[in-house]
């Protein structure tokens, strides 16, 4: 009896010991997981702090320049690097990753740009272009908490697209199982989309009925790529437009006057009528500036197209018989060089100096 009692106690003790060991093992695993997550978070924060420090130092380089000749060259160098930084970001947004990487390496700008963010997004965009959702879903999983705060619908739309592809492949039972697995916890504002998906099971893939035709549209993949791009910008607090685009638009708007757009036909058909020094008068930039507002100018400033000098009381505007107006100083110099003959730069007509008339601007 004593032996049986001892065996029972040993059995109970071993079971308790095994149970405690199992609990300790689970606690150790959880502790290890927490430590790994904490280390990753700390390393990410340290990396972000280093990037912020490096960019602040870059800004201080410009703030610390003086007015000497050496400082002027330093300012020009800093402005060149700023332009390169803008171009790197623009190239990344347009998909020219190779050019962006080479320019960033040549100008030592990797810490001053978001090139790593865009290189990660490139892989996701390429996978979506191949009609694959795995990498984008992994991206959603890695950033789930942040995307939830942004109220992102990226993962939901990916699951809808997976459902649509199963229906397109006539694997409708798998589509039903997919819906049960991923559509069971939808939000209230997603109910209608789920209903459309379930109703799609009853329609052929060649249906012309809306909204099921739109669900089967191949262009939905392009929309997913664009949505991912915008969600990625929001996640890393990036503007929807590059700094280069914003700066270019601001510059074009500051230089834009009614003349380039009003004389667009003349610009296209008669290249000599363009102002070579005006960026907005160039064909490519004129198209970019078409939707931009005009520059605010409370007072008009008249400029001689020959010399580029302003037309005022010291350089009065003078009109040729053909109607073209130029500065008095330029015409006087032209008359001295050509025996009192004036040659119109636009039409190449020749007029005597006595034929020019003074123009009064009201």
Q: Which SS3 state, helix, strand or coil, does residue 357 take?
A: strand
**What whole-number percentage of the chain has pLDDT above 70?**
83
- Segment 119-124 mean pLDDT: 91
pTM, whole model, 2 decimals?
0.67
Confidence of residue 264 (pLDDT cuts 50, 70, 90): very low
Residue 348 CA to residue 218 CA, distance in Å, equals 58
Question: What tens digit of pLDDT does each residue of 174-191 get?
Answer: 999 999 999 887 777 888
| Token pair listed for 353 | 């100096």
- The pLDDT of residue 261 is above 70: no
Q: Between 103 and 31, where is the model more confident?
A: 103
Neighbours of 250 (CB within 10 A): 11
Question: What tens digit of pLDDT does each residue of 24-78 get?
Answer: 666 766 776 677 767 767 776 777 777 788 778 877 877 766 666 667 888 888 8
Residue 14 CA to residue 18 CA, distance in Å, equals 6
Residue 10 CA to residue 127 CA, distance in Å, equals 59
- Asked if the bond preceding 241 is cis, omega within 30° of 0, the reply is no
**Residue 226, pLDDT score:** 93
| Token pair listed for 274 | 């363009």
**Residue 280, pLDDT score:** 79
Q: E strands within 51-152?
A: none
Confidence of residue 232 (pLDDT cuts 50, 70, 90): very high
Question: What tens digit of pLDDT does each residue of 341-362 get?
Answer: 888 988 888 999 888 899 887 7
Cβ distance 327 to 317 under 8 Å? yes
**Residue 313, pLDDT score:** 87
Confidence of residue 266 (pLDDT cuts 50, 70, 90): very low
- Give, as one character, the DSSP assignment of residue 67: S
Neighbours of 90 (CB within 10 A): 19
Q: What are phi and psi of 329, to 5 degrees?
A: -65, -40
Cβ distance 321 to 344 under 8 Å? no
- The pLDDT of residue 271 is above 80: no
**Residue 184, pLDDT score:** 83
**Residue 137, pLDDT score:** 95
Q: Which SS3 state, helix, strand or coil, does residue 358 take?
A: strand
Residue 305 CA to residue 325 CA, distance in Å, equals 9
Q: Between 282 and 122, where is the model more confident?
A: 122
Q: First vs last Cα of the chain: how many Å apart?
A: 126
**Residue 348, pLDDT score:** 87
Question: What tens digit of pLDDT does each residue of 55-66 get?
Answer: 788 778 777 666
- The pLDDT of residue 276 is above 80: no
**Residue 268, pLDDT score:** 41
What is the residue-averaged pLDDT of the chain?
Answer: 82
Question: What tens digit of pLDDT does each residue of 236-256 get?
Answer: 888 888 899 889 888 888 887
């Amino acid at each position: 009896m004593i032996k049986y009692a001892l065996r029972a106690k040993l059995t109970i003790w071993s079971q308790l010991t095994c149970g405690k060991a199992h609990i300790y093992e689970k606690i150790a695993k959880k502790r290890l997981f927490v430590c790994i997550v904490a280390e990753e978070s700390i390393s990410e924060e340290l990396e972000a702090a280093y990037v912020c420090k490096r960019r602040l130092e870059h800004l201080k380089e410009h703030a610390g320049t003086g007015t000497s000749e050496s400082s002027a060259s330093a300012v020009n160098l800093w402005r060149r690097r700023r332009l390169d930084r803008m171009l790197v970001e623009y190239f990344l947004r347009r998909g020219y990753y190779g050019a962006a990487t080479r320019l960033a390496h040549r100008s030592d700008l990797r810490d001053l740009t978001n090139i790593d963010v865009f290189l990660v997004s490139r892989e996701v965009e390429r996978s979506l272009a191949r009609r694959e959702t795995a990498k984008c879903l992994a991206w959603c999983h890695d950033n789930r908490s942040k995307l939830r705060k942004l109220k992102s619908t990226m993962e939901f739309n990916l699951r809808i697209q997976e459902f649509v592809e199963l229906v397109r492949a006539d694997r409708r039972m798998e589509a039903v199982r997919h819906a049960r697995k991923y559509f069971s916890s939808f939000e209230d504002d997603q109910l209608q989309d789920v209903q459309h998906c379930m109703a799609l099971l009853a329609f052929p893939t060649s249906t012309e009925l809306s909204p099921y035709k739109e669900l089967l549209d191949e262009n939905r993949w392009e929309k997913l790529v664009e949505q991912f791009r915008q969600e990625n910008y929001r996640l890393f607090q990036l503007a929807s437009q590059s700094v280069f685009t914003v700066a270019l638009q601001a510059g074009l708007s500051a230089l834009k006057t009614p003349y380039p757009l009003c004389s667009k036909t003349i610009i296209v058909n008669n290249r000599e009528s363009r102002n070579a020094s005006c960026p907005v008068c160039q064909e490519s930039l004129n198209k970019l500036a078409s939707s931009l507002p005009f520059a605010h100018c409370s007072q008009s400033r008249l400029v001689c197209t020959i010399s580029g000098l302003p037309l005022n009381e010291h350089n009065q505007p003078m009109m040729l018989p053909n109607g073209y107006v130029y500065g008095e100083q330029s015409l006087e110099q032209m008359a001295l060089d050509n025996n009192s003959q004036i040659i119109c730069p636009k039409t190449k007509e020749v007029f005597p100096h006595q034929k020019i008339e003074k123009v009064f601007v009201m």
